[in-house]
Amino acid sequence: MDFSRSGAEVEFIEHVKRVIEERLRPEHPSWKADMTTPHELWKILGSEGLLGFRHTEDGDVRIPWQMNIHTYRELAQLSGGLAIAAFAHSQLGVQAFHFFGTPEQQKRYMVPGMDGDAVIAFANTEPGAGSDASALTTTAERDGDEWVINGTKAYITNGDLSDHVVFTAVTDPGAARAHRGISQFAVDGDADGLTRMRMQKYGWKESHLSTLRFEDVRIPAENMIGEPERGFYQTMDIFNSSRIGIAALALGTALGSYRMAYDHVRRRKAFGKTLFEHESKRVEFADNLARLEAGWLLVEKAAWLSDTGRESRANASMAKLFNTEEGMGITQWATEAFGARGVMATHPVAEYPHDAKAALLGEGAPEVQKKIIAENIDSVLDEM
């Protein structure tokens, strides 16, 4: 594995940082005050080629993970809410069509999505089906040239403001095993019978988390994505890839809080010298910097494995597990550097622990990551 960066990678990273500083940071205070993600976010990122995919002479292709991880790391340092809104749209919604969509579906959904002209949500989770992604109760029944959808989805990022929703539903309730009876579909956000409601939450404040209720929602038969009864497997393929991005996002959250604390302790004085000049505080920063570096190496390796066509599932889970669990500790520690101000709702550092908690649960709870890692111990050991 080569840790040097190509000219294209360096240019991409500089481009990401420039877009954030010049186009997003000036707008962020008003978005944050309104606790919302405006469509302008996706339009900006789409126009700058930062929604995970790009147009080429050979067609629309995914940006390599070794480059794309920088998008989510940098975005999360500014705002976990903006980062997850962009991530869920591109790496879940748009990616579903990239992996499994027909040419017609890619033209209708993927192209506007990657350009930021349409927002796509991804709805798999239900009130009773979270980590167990096969325990769905939402149903899709065939009626002529249409599917009739009934059920409820919950905790869906961008769900109430999206133009389109990719979702899963049971199409074969008699399947021998539940995960073999699930299919994947697309529905317009304004479809008759679809009710969408924003949920209140801590963490990722600017992003919208929503409940979707399907009541006899009718969609054309051609809105099925991929193969019948392959929806569970398609969803797992999407998650196995996208966990690399959520790991980078979690790392960015921890790194953002670390930078804020580092700037503070070099200015703040106590007992005649800056906080950073106290040996105990310097040791804390050294320890946590090592954890950040270890976390980033895990992300980079998972990205490299994925980009080079190697098996990356276990490594993506290790990157996600490590960065979300360490991120919880680092962000909490960072708030303590600010004393009483660290628990004030008006201080930006207080938001990072909430964002870290949200990242811990998204894309599979820690127990899910440990299950995946445990299933791949032998193959990982063989490579060590």
Active site residues: 363
For residue 91, give the DSSP letter. I
What tokens appear for 377 in the block? 């111990």
Query: H/E element holding 54?
Result: strand 53-56
Helix (H, G, I), strand (E, B) or coil at 114: helix
Please give the Cα distance from 40 to 37 (Å, whole number): 8
Q: What single-letter DSSP state applies at residue 112?
A: H
Distance between CA atoms of 148 and 217, rounded to whole angstroms? 5
Q: What angle do CA 345, 347, 349 make, to 5 degrees?
A: 110
- Please check whether residue 318 is in contact with residue 299, taking contact to mean a CB–CB distance below 8 angstroms: no
Cα separation, 370 vs 67, in Å, equals 26
At 50 the three-state DSSP class reads coil
**CA nearest neighbour of 288 among 317, 315, 323:** 323
Q: Are 257 and 329 in contact (CB under 8 A)?
A: no
